[in-house]
Amino acid sequence: MQGETELITLLNQLNPKLDPKHYVFVSVEDSAFSAFGVPEVRGWFRESEGITLICEQHFAESNNWQYAGVFQCITCHVHSSLNAVGMTAAISAALARREISANVVAAYFHDHIFVPMEKAEQAVKAMQSVSAGQP
């Protein structure tokens, strides 16, 4: 199933939804992680220094893993193509104008933007503005 590539369509159909869970980014060694069967892990990426996990805050704390910052995830409920151009840039620009950091994860069907927990509602409104054609 091919995702959408047309920027205007992507932005018009952005439909951002905020996940109420609290997420953190941690780095762990290979031996500390199994990619399967861990519901608290939202995503992961292998780097040369270790495995970066995006996991629920309580899971990191229960494992005594260090993290800096608590985030919430906003999922764009438009099926964006991995080859689409400009959607991430438009979202990032709108968030940057409001001084909101964005940690973007592109998955097969949707894009997921992790923003600081204390600015999550403001970030959703910024993304809704982009979808409505406003800066």
Structure confidence by residue, pLDDT tens digits, 1-14? 688 898 888 898 89
In a domain, 35, yes or no: yes
Query: To which residue do tokens 């403001």 refer?
Result: 122
In a domain, 104, yes or no: yes
As for how many domains the chain has, the answer is 1
In a domain, 2, yes or no: no
Output the domain CATH number for residue 97. Answer: 3.30.2130.10
Q: What is the pLDDT of residues 79-92, one digit of tens each?
A: 998 899 999 999 99
In a domain, 76, yes or no: yes
> What pLDDT sits at residue 34?
64
Tell me which residue range forms the domain holding 113: 7-130
In a domain, 102, yes or no: yes
- The number of CA neighbours under 13 Å toward the Cβ of 102 is 25
In a domain, 114, yes or no: yes
In a domain, 1, yes or no: no
Dihedral angle over CA of 24, 26, 32, 36, nearest 10: 50
* Beta-carbon contacts of residue 92 (< 8 Å; ≥ 6 apart): 102, 104
Task: Please report which helix (H) or strand (E) contains residue 119, including its range.
Answer: none
In a domain, 40, yes or no: yes
> What pLDDT sits at residue 135?
65
